[in-house]
Amino acid sequence: MATLTEAQLTDPVALTRALVDIESVSGNEKTIADAVERALADRDHLRVFRQGNVVHARTELGRDNRVMLAGHLDTVPIHDNFPSRTEGDTMYGCGTSDMKSGTAIALHLAATLTEPVHDVSYIFYDCEEVESDRNGLTKIAATKPEWLAADFAFLLEPTHGEVEAGCQGTLRAEVSTSGTRAHSARSWLGDNAIHRAGAILRTLDDYEARSIDIDGCLYREGLNAVGIKGGVAGNVIPDSCVVEVNFRFAPDRTADAAIAHVRAVFADFKVEITDIAPGAQPGLSAPVVSEFLATTGRPAVAKLGWTDVARFSALGIPAVNFGPGDPNLAHTRNEHVSCARIAECADLLRRYLTGEPQ
């Protein structure tokens, strides 16, 4: 049984180390969820709920606005980077960047922040690093949507201390060619589908990706081949070839618009959409968002990637990504985080939630 001490809960750096040292690869979050629930269960300022390995805590102080802090408890598989170790200002270990340092900040504030100027909801959830239908937020949105009600949400994913607004949408498609199978010794009797795929690759090579400014945030799109499948045997002319394509699209495009765009680009080919997740608009005009940007003293930038802020956006809740980890280190063997940045991000959120001046 893992237990988080009061000393750890009052120090977001020590709390990060404690969470990293609880192994919680996706699907194995019960121990860490138990520890989070025990840490918050007896706090007079909180109501605490549990469903599966999702822990929800909330203040009910009658404030005018409600702010949500959300962090996932799981990590990708360990790769010779467990438990944590610290060298100077740097903490190494699986999940240090993505995203136990951010989750630790949310847990630290949940345990210690008793009189925020906004009501605050906290969600600690499981299975973010795996398929969408296992994601704890997906399940809560379907079964306990009232837990996610808020005027503004922070997802404490790694952003290196920057405020990353909204997120890109993502689409995967299989673009196919067909031909006629034949013996490779008599290739003129066949039609090589892999050769035909050259037209798909030339289309991608010539594609001019769009950039668009939304609320002062520059979103850059991208359409790229990420895989190719074809071939029957070493002596057979192949009769089919599939190029897997990934389209990262700006949040001003709906899912339907993104699908229509990809089909138009590959109008001469068979296109099968295999996966799509719409993006999230920045939502920076909401007063509660403007207040936080004033606290940081820095403008928001576009989130180039997909995150769970899209789930909040789908519910009509403005959301930003904000966390101490470096996204470039996520999922790497050498994953690490700056201890000073953990403290800095925790301090910014505390000042915002308590209404302290800059």
pLDDT in tens, 282-338: 888 878 888 888 888 889 999 988 888 998 988 888 889 999 999 999 999 999 999
For residue 100, give Cα distances in angstroms to 88, 90, 120, 312.
Answer: 19, 14, 20, 20
Marked catalytic residue, from 37, 98, 126, 128? 128
Cβ proximity of 125 and 143 under 8 Å: no
Among 3.20.20.100, 3.30.70.360, 3.30.530.20, 3.40.50.720, name the CATH number for the domain at 169-277. Answer: 3.30.70.360
Q: What percent of the chain has pLDDT over 90?
A: 87
CATH code of 6-167+280-354, in short, is 3.40.630.10
- Is 128 designated active site? yes
Count Cβ atoms within 10 A of the Cβ of residue 354 and give its class: 0-12 exposed, 13-18 middle, 19 or more buried.
Answer: middle
pLDDT at 357 over 70: no
Residue 121 pLDDT class (50, 70, 90 cuts): very high
Q: Look at residue 278 in the predicted model and tell me its pLDDT.
A: 93
3-state secondary structure of 326: coil
- Each domain of the chain, given as residue ranges in start order, spans 6-167+280-354, 169-277
pLDDT at 358 over 70: no
Q: Look at residue 101 in the predicted model and tell me its pLDDT.
A: 98
The Cα 296–Cα 154 span in angstroms is 14
pLDDT in tens, 257-278: 999 999 999 999 999 999 999 9
Neighbours of 312 (CB within 10 A): 25
Marked catalytic residue, from 29, 37, 74, 239? 74
Q: Look at residue 356 in the predicted model and tell me its pLDDT.
A: 81
- Beta strands 319-321 and 85-87: pairing type? unpaired
pLDDT in tens, 218-255: 999 999 999 999 999 999 999 999 999 999 999 999 99
H-state helical runs in 113-211? 136-143, 193-206
For residue 62, give Cα distances in angstroms to 56, 81, 282.
Answer: 18, 44, 27
